[in-house]
Amino acid sequence: MKSLHKSFVIASLCLLTASAGYAQQDGKDGKEIPVQQQPGPVSQDEWHFSFTPYFWLPTADLNISIPSVTVGGHTIGGDFSVYQPWWETLSKFSSDFYVLGLMGRVEAWKGCWGGFVDGYWIFGKSTVGGSDSRLVLRDRVDITTSSSVTSRFDSGQVNFGPQFKLGTVPLGPISNVSFVLYGGGRVNWIGNDVDGSLTIKTSSNLGEIGQTFNFSGSKSRVFVEPMIGFKTTWAFGDKFAAILRGDVGGFGVVTANNWDCDLETGIAWQFRRNTYLDFGYRARGQWQDLGSNGNGNISGWFYGPELGMTFSF
């Protein structure tokens, strides 16, 4: 198993401010003189919402175990690894290989209490092949085997639950950092299907004979698990905000080997009113046993850059 990578990825935060204005009366001419509006605190009695769709291009660093299949006296399956850096994925996107992630987040706040729903779907495909040739019977017979195996995998998750702002610490006249505790549950699904072929050819002075064996298999699982996390949100003036968060789930509740974590960091730029452009990095670690009845298991990391946009209202 390759070394685990710790990375962090994006989410955005949306801060709404309310303005309060007033006017004063000139006693001499009776004309109303406008006074510049001053920022006021966010109302604790109003709901505030944000929606963030974003795109994730992750590196896939996985170890996958699937049930072995014996075809024509040859065993195919067992343990294999998938590793593809995100920067190489861009240049290798094809019908034989791709890894992609789509996701979105919705938050609601009223005072110090809030709630969220955050989900993603990672899907990919990898095709590998190989061949081998051997001479037998005093080098009079050539036996050639060739195989091609295609693995399609997908991993998804929907996180949901309440969140509570523990407090805010000022960093300057217009900057601060807030500390938020959140938790709840995750709905997970893991799927993997494999299909391939094995061709065996025998060549000799009597001619050539051969046969092709095809095989396929599919496994999937959906389960719910608990999750708890902590995040800090940073406000840098009127135009920039940042986030740093992490959570862990599973705790071996579903099976004895069922753990995962989600790490994220990013910065948001307010380029127009109530709209932020988000840049960040996200890492998702996963160690899942698909069951004791021979379904196999999957472990490893997805990590890479994110690009999204947040709309607040």
Given a cut of 80, whether residue 267 has pLDDT beyond it is yes
The pLDDT mean for the chain works out to 75
Q: pLDDT (tens digit, 9 = 90+) per residue, 123-153?
A: 777 776 667 776 665 666 677 777 777 777 7
* Contacts with 139 (C-beta within 8 Å, 6 or more apart), sequence order: none
Q: Report the C-alpha gap between 44 and 181 in whole angstroms.
A: 18
Q: Please classify residue 1 by burial: count the beta carbons closer than 10 Å to its beta carbon, then call 0-12 exposed, 13-18 middle and 19+ buried.
A: exposed
Mean pLDDT in residue range 182-205: 79
Q: pLDDT (tens digit, 9 = 90+) per residue, 230-248?
A: 999 999 988 999 999 999 9
Give domain status of residue 22, yes or no: no
Nearest partner of 9 among 305, 241, 310, 276, judged by Cα: 305
Q: pLDDT (tens digit, 9 = 90+) per residue, 14-48?
A: 332 222 333 333 333 444 334 333 334 445 678 99
> What is the per-residue pLDDT for 188?
82
How far CA 172 is from CA of 1, 178, 260, in Å, comes to 46, 13, 37
Give domain status of residue 33, yes or no: no
> What is the per-residue pLDDT for 290?
59
3-class state of residue 16 by DSSP? coil
Give domain status of residue 107, yes or no: yes
Give domain status of residue 70, yes or no: yes
Structural domain range at position 99:
48-312
- Give the chain's domain count: 1
Q: Report the C-alpha gap between 281 and 46 in whole angstroms.
A: 32
Altogether, the residues listed in the chain come to a count of 313
Give domain status of residue 40, yes or no: no
Give domain status of residue 205, yes or no: yes
* 249: CATH: 2.40.128
Give domain status of residue 10, yes or no: no
Give domain status of residue 187, yes or no: yes
> What is the per-residue pLDDT for 206?
64
Mean pLDDT in residue range 290-299: 62
